[in-house]
């Protein structure tokens, strides 16, 4: 959580000096991540509480180490960054293994389950732990939430290295359990966010699920309390982005983004920012700009014309689909 906030402050609010000034503290603070790096810790975690295979803890290991790698990059320490990327790669193995380890276990004769009916969480004192049935609201039963939110880096990780398995996970353990038999939405904002990142759901199905979740007033009141209320805005925002998001910040340097608003119906982006001495801001857009002043590259990148040490406002109209 701390590395996520630090990275957001640097990359989104242009406060990279916060990391540079406190680089020694960040090295000290993240030291535990480097000494508790054995395979059992990575696959089981929560060893200090005896709750091995606590899946929500492992969900933040890989994204968290990528955050530290970015902190090291900002601090100007290439050796520290390289070590972080190596550690992140180790965490990739433990994270994606929850979808693939079952094949080895079945082939070796350790378990006799049908592979399409299970997914793993991690190692316990009694061996590898598996889950059956619905991926419910309980964080220990799904592959994304880490109790305080869902790290966005997990979606491309699974999609890149275990595309068939994560697609099957969505279709088997998530989507069929969104509604009760009478059509009432029975999950929460975490499961809504997770489900809406599946390509197995159409645009209309995603909008239906979003509206069904937001209509549950009693549930939303419960979810708006201190915890898990802290996760409600981010999950709804990510759900909205998965439906309507057409343009995003790709690379922000020495820029303090004060306000950023996208109207999905009008396909219009409004942006207010304050620049530093050497500012740079690149957007990633699914659609080309209607205004020829903004050039979009073949890979969808739009570099905004920025002036140093000033306040600037932009309004970018995108072409319709």
Tens-digit pLDDT profile for residues 15-36:
889 999 999 999 998 887 787 6
pLDDT in tens, 258-280: 999 999 999 999 999 999 999 99
Show Cβ contacts of residue 137 under 8 Å, excluding neighbours closer than 6 positions. Answer: 187, 188, 190, 191
Please state, in angstroms and rounded to a whole number, the distance separating the CA atoms of residues 238 and 269: 17
Residue 47 has pLDDT above 60, yes or no: no
Predicted local confidence at residue 48, as pLDDT:
47
Mean pLDDT of the chain: 87
Q: Domain locations in the chain?
A: 2-177, 247-317
Share of the chain above pLDDT 70, in %: 90
| 200 vs 148: which has the higher pLDDT | 200
């Amino acid at each position: 959580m701390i590395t996520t906030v630090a990275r957001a402050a640097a990359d989104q609010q242009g406060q990279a000096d916060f990391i540079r000034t406190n680089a020694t503290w960040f090295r000290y603070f993240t030291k535990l991540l480097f000494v508790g790096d054995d395979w059992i810790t990575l696959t089981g975690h929560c060893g200090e509480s005896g709750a091995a295979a606590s899946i929500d803890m492992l969900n933040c290991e890989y994204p968290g180490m990528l955050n530290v790698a970015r902190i090291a990059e900002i601090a100007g320490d290439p050796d520290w960054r390289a070590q972080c990327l190596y550690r992140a790669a180790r965490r990739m193995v433990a994270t994606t293994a929850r979808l693939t380890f079952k094949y080895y276990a079945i082939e070796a004769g350790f378990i006799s389950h049908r592979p399409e009916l299970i997914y793993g969480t991690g190692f316990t004192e009694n061996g590898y732990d598996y889950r059956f049935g619905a991926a419910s609201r309980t964080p220990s039963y799904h592959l994304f939430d880490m109790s305080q939110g869902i790290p966005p880096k997990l979606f491309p990780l699974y999609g890149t290295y275990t595309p068939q398995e994560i697609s099957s996970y969505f279709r088997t353990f998530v989507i069929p359990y969104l509604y009760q038999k009478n059509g009432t939405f029975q999950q929460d904002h975490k499961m809504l966010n997770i489900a809406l990142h599946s390509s197995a759901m159409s645009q209309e199905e995603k909008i239906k699920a979003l509206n069904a979740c937001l209509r549950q007033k009693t549930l939303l009141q419960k979810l708006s309390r201190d915890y898990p209320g802290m996760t409600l805005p981010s999950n709804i925002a990510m759900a909205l982005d998965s439906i309507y998001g057409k343009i995003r910040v790709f690379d922000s340097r020495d820029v303090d983004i004060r306000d950023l608003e996208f109207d999905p119906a009008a396909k219009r982006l409004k942006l207010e920012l304050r620049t530093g001495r050497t500012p740079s801001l690149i957007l990633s857009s699914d659609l080309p700009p209607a205004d020829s002043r903004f050039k979009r590259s073949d890979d969808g990148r739009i570099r905004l014309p920025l002036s140093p040490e000033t306040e600037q406002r932009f309004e970018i109209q995108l072409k319709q689909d």
